[in-house]
Structures are given as structure tokens and as C-alpha cells.
Amino acid sequence: MVDPALATVDRTARTVGSLVAEMRARLVPSLGADAESGARELLAAVSDQPRHWPVIARDEPVTSDVWRRAMDATTRRARGAPLQYAAGLASFRHLTLDVDERVLIPRPETEQLVDLVLRLVAEDAAGGGTAVDVGTGSGAIALALASEGSFARVIATDVSLDALAVARANVERCAGQLRAPVELRHGSLLSAVPERGLGVVVSNPPYISPDEAASLPAGVRDWEPAVALFSSDGGMGTTAALMRCAARSLAPRGLLALEVDARRASLAAQLLASHGAYGDVRIERDLTGRERFVVARRLEEQE
């Protein structure tokens, strides 16, 4: 007897509900009891709709294009791809971004980093000026700042040409929502930004030590780009290098804002405080209470 859960639905009945049923059947071997909810969540992501949409829209017709894209995404998900990579899309604040294995999946903690930057810039009478997002990946931080902030321009850098290709697609996708121009540049850290007097340098740099790879979830370790995850010197190499070069690029009172490993936030703050170019160094917690961000202001005079 054929398990009804694995039976292929009538392809002439192309509704949201029937599509969910077919996706569920394909996902049962990999997701088991979570296949139903996984199918709904994946279809919502592919369709750029709220998570509850497949339930309330179950009787709505589905076009052949949506059906094809949803089944392609289901195949990728069944092979182990994280939800966002399977869908090819990820939500970040009010934006919907293209994502794939060339870039990190944007995360809620990084949304909070954007909140932090916007708040601190709003408190400063000097305004935002030029903001630089170092290691932009999908362009998430840069595009959020350009669409929500009051910056004259936003520069986004990355050492990966593959990542910049994804970011370029997202600049085009989000063009109608941008209040400031976004310029993409290829280079390590700030090497592609000769400008001085920057208002903000912000980054979610790689901060995991290579010897910690085995402890990462498989969806991160096996799918997300290593260049965006791992850093030398116990995970601190990239962060420390960025602190040094940002000191030469920021304007007096310019803001440096970094997402860091919660286990190393104190070390990052100590590095900033001992550098000599920064003041107002402090650690900020994420919504779960972890020490996740370190911020500082460039002093008027460097030692």
C-alpha cells in the first residue's frame, strides 16, 4: 500500500495546497515529521510571502513558473541546503535579498547591528557622511543603511568577487528603495577605499577560529563560504586588522561598529581600547543577551 504522504498529487490541480502536498512528499525522507511545516515555510520563502501565507492561500491557483521554482527549491532543500539557499532568497529587515552559497545567510543579529549604527549616527550632530560596509557579502548591511539611513553614500567592499556578484544583483533588486547610492568595490578590508574622513565603518567580519569548525551546525559548516566564516589568530585576525586600518580612515568622532563572537567581545573591546585611536569603546548585547557587538568612536587625535 502506498503511503498517501508520498503519493504524487494530480498535476492538473495546481493550487497552493496541492503544491505544499507535493513538496511535503519530497521532503519526508529528509525532514520526517517536519516535512509539512518545512514545505509551507519553503514555499513562503520562494514566493516572498509571510510564513502563514500557504495556509490562508491554500485554494489559490499556482502558475507553472511558481510550481517549477518551488519544486527546484524542494530538491535543493531535500539535499540538505539551508532554507534560504534552497529558496534563493532571504529577508533582511524590510529587504528581500538574493542569496546562495557564495555569501553568508543574513541573520537577525546583523539586523540589530544595523539598528545600532542607525541609532548612534542619529545621536551625532555631524550626521552619517560616508558609510563603508566591510565584507559586504550579499550587501545586506550596506543596502539596509542606504535605504534607512541618512548617509551621503554607502561603499560596500568584499575580498570575494563571487560575493560582489551577489551584492550587485541585490543593489539592482533594491534600487527603488535606496535613499543613498551604493558603490561596490573589490578588495580586502579597506584597501579599496582610499577616502579619509569616513563617517562609519561597519562590518560583520569572519570571526570563527578554524579549529572551531567541527562545532558549527552542518548547515553552516558545509554550506556557507569559509572565507566569510573563519579568521586566523583564534578568530580575531580579521577583526584586529580592521580596527587598525579603520583608525586611519575614520573622521574624528567617526563610528566603528563590529559584530563579534560573543566569546571574544571583551577581547575585541580591549584591543580597541588599547589601540590609542579610539574612545567611547563599549560592548552591546544582542536580543538574547549575548555580548555580540563592539562599537567605538575615532578620537580627535591619534597617539
Q: What per-residue confidence (pLDDT) applies to 300? A: 83
Which whole number is the average pLDDT over 134-145? 98
The alpha carbons of the chain give a radius of gyration, in whole angstroms, of: 22
Bridge-based pairing of strands 95-98 and 182-186 is unpaired
Please tell me the predicted confidence (pLDDT) of residue 301: 65
Is residue 283 predicted with pLDDT exceeding 60? Answer: yes
Mean pLDDT in residue range 231-252: 96
| Model pTM score | 0.91
pLDDT tens for 36-60 read 999 999 999 999 999 999 999 999 9
Burial environment of residue 103 by CB neighbours within 10 A (0 to 12, 13 to 18, 19 or more): buried
Q: pLDDT > 70: what percent of the chain? A: 94
Query: What pLDDT score was predicted for residue 193?
Result: 97
Q: Binning pLDDT at 50, 70 and 90, where does residue 127 land?
A: low
List the Cα angle 71/76/261 in 5-degree steps.
135
Alpha carbon separation from 265 to 52, 97, 106, 148 (Å, rounded)? 37, 29, 20, 27
Are the CB atoms for 71 and 103 separated by under 8 Å? no
Q: Which residue has the higher pLDDT, 125 or 213?
A: 213
**Rounded average pLDDT over 130-155:** 97
Give pLDDT, residue 2.
40
CA dihedral sign, ordered 257, 260, 265, 271: negative
- Report whether pLDDT(4) > 50: no
pLDDT on residue 6: 41
Query: pLDDT-derived band of residue 8, with 50, 70 and 90 as boundaries?
Result: very low
Residue 127 dihedral angles phi and psi, to the nearest 5°: 80, -175
pLDDT band at 124 (very low <50, low <70, confident <90, very high): confident
Residue with cell 508520498: 6
Mean pLDDT on 248-274: 96
Q: What one-letter code names the amino acid at 99?
A: V
Q: Tell me: the pLDDT tens digits for 87-113?
A: 999 999 999 999 999 999 999 999 999
Could you tell me the domains of the chain? 4-87 (1.10.8.10), 90-298 (3.40.50.150)
Residue with cell 502563514: 52
Confidence grade of residue 3 (pLDDT, cut at 50, 70, 90):
very low
Cell digits of residue 88: 534563493
For residue 72, how many other CB atoms are within 10 A of its CB?
14
Provide the mean pLDDT of the chain: 93
